[in-house]
Structure 1
């Protein structure tokens, strides 16, 4: 009995020490769920003095999440392990709009989100939802990397965000449970869109019915017929498994809506000037890596979807589509005149 009491006391002391150790740092947040890339060997054993969270809606191997992880890795390197960013993919911290609200309040420090979603919080970002404003990827990135593109990123501060970098998201196309080989096939279809006014106007201009809903609800809604169609890029069509229930896709490329990596301004303003610079540099340096991963993933997704027997229709002449959505462009032209002029300048 005495021996058991001694062993029990030792165990209790050890357990108490472990609990105290776990509670010793108020800066560590959910490190057990960290999906971020590890820092270099020389910083792995250093205990961070600041731990923050980055939310993403996509799965762990998705190109935006890989970009998030590269960003977290670069921050760890540049801070010599002092700053740690835990990446939470797969909507672990909530759906996109709810997460953006939490970032705005400072409850979550970072998110990677579509500029289409951000448009509900920062009207200037709505310009990317306008259809057919970019000719191709080169044109898009020439604008994003321009002074006007950076100015647009900086404008997020008015909505209590710190815009850090743009990430690639390719071109968006329509896919449906029903055959779609021409523009008239969309008429009357219920199409899921990101919840912003421009997207709703775009779908209406094509004669369809816009149905805003969270990204996580799209698969079941397609499966049950709550919606007929949705629109997105190749990788999202793939990883969401939407191609298993929507067997028709038309490559109209109506939008090129970049992603944005952003930080809560509440959290950003608490950083030292040195750390603000460090975080911005890490974000910008992660962009090329994310774009390279996007290209690889996009190609693999397209091959997978075609092999699965999805009917793919390529749009040979985009002019009828442009003509159909002209009222949408005209409606917002005055509001986005300066940005649209800059996009046109980048084309030349």
Structure 2
């Protein structure tokens, strides 16, 4: 019996030694590696490499890694590498892309087109107020994106959208007259309606196809880009750019709630803070960036840059706020339009 007990004890001890030597130590080491392995998040953007947003996005990625002590890393994919903004937002909703700096499409809710309400802001000073973190517009987007299980992190003011053309429109400063040209438009009603009301013929074409569409004369120009974007995307193609302040190019920082939930509470707070900081920074940088690229369009590509006078700008803004905004009530709802009118009246 004693010999049997001794044999059994010997087997147990040997088994324990084997597990410790071959399995236990290795698992412990693996566990340490898992804890130290960073969480990698993907950040998607339409912005090309030479663009204000790319600088902001790279800076945000660096800060997140630094402030989380390497626990969170962000891989940046510019220039629509992960798809168009429509596709990217769908992936953000699903959680298969983590963060994006994009135009939020209105496919899931037409009210999401409100970011591009034409002539909502007519200057950088107004945009800084109307798209501020505590603004009516920001609260609207926090609520609308939350319904898609998406966290709104702030606006990126890239500048103001104007019109790049290869064929000159007629009577360009007079709203409501037939301009005689076809312009590329995004699918958003906030873009299409205003072009129709001003007298243009909008043709819905995706962002990625803009250069080809202009070169093959499918359209005579496009609306959808700041001076920076016109320079980077179609600078060699267009002949003239009208800086008419039609839309503030205020893209969004948005993040999947599924991705945010992967982080500790501490790292969630760090990431949110970093992107809020870079949102605010964009408003400080946008005006200087706009001026630089108006000059580069002229100097590098010989593009004629036409800027509206204050009188011309005011005339167009008043027309659009009366005609187009009223028409957009059917898409954005009368309640939202009333709220936007109220905010403009406070300026």
* Length-normalised TM-score, structure 2: 0.79
In the aligned structure 2, how far is the partner of 1:338 from the partner of 1:270?
39
Equivalent in 72, 92, 95 of residue 61 of structure 2: 72
Query: Equivalent residue for 1:6?
Result: none
Query: Equivalent residue for 1:171?
Result: 160
In the aligned structure 1, how far is the partner of 2:115 from the partner of 2:251?
10
In the aligned structure 1, how far is the partner of 2:84 from the partner of 2:190?
21
Q: Secondary structure at the match of 2:159?
A: coil
In the aligned structure 2, how far is the partner of 1:289 from the partner of 1:327?
34
Q: Secondary structure at the match of 2:235?
A: helix
Equivalent in 303, 309, 330 of residue 310 of structure 1: 303
- Pairing 1:298–2:293 present: no
Going from structure 1 to structure 2, the CA distance change for 1:346 and 1:259 (only over 3 Å counts) comes to farther
- Pairing 1:59–2:48 present: yes
Alignment of 1:24-35 (within 5 A): none
Query: Equivalent residue for 1:204?
Result: 196
Unmatched 5+ stretches in structure 2 = 1-29
8 Å Cα contact 1:122/1:159 also seen in 2: no
Going from structure 1 to structure 2, the CA distance change for 1:239 and 1:66 (only over 3 Å counts) comes to same
Equivalent in 246, 251, 255 of residue 259 of structure 1: 251
Equivalent in 148, 172, 189 of residue 182 of structure 1: 172
Q: Secondary structure at the match of 2:152?
A: strand
Deviations 1:218-253 (A, max 9, x none): 01111110111102211000010x132220222221
Query: Equivalent residue for 1:3?
Result: none
Query: Equivalent residue for 2:123?
Result: 136
Query: Equivalent residue for 2:12?
Result: none
How far residue 178 of structure 1 moved from its aligned partner, in angstroms, is 0.7
How far residue 267 of structure 1 moved from its aligned partner, in angstroms, is 1.6
How far residue 319 of structure 1 moved from its aligned partner, in angstroms, is 4.3
How far residue 173 of structure 1 moved from its aligned partner, in angstroms, is 1.1
In the aligned structure 1, how far is the partner of 2:37 from the partner of 2:287?
33
**RMSD across aligned C-alpha pairs, in angstroms?**
2.6
Equivalent in 319, 324, 337 of residue 328 of structure 1: 324
8 Å Cα contact 2:158/2:282 also seen in 1: no
Mark the structure with the bigger radius of gyration: 2
Query: Equivalent residue for 1:152?
Result: 140
In the aligned structure 1, how far is the partner of 2:319 from the partner of 2:135?
31
Q: Secondary structure at the match of 1:118?
A: coil
Range that drifts further, 278-287 or 308-317 = 308-317
Going from structure 1 to structure 2, the CA distance change for 1:166 and 1:322 (only over 3 Å counts) comes to closer
8 Å Cα contact 2:72/2:267 also seen in 1: no
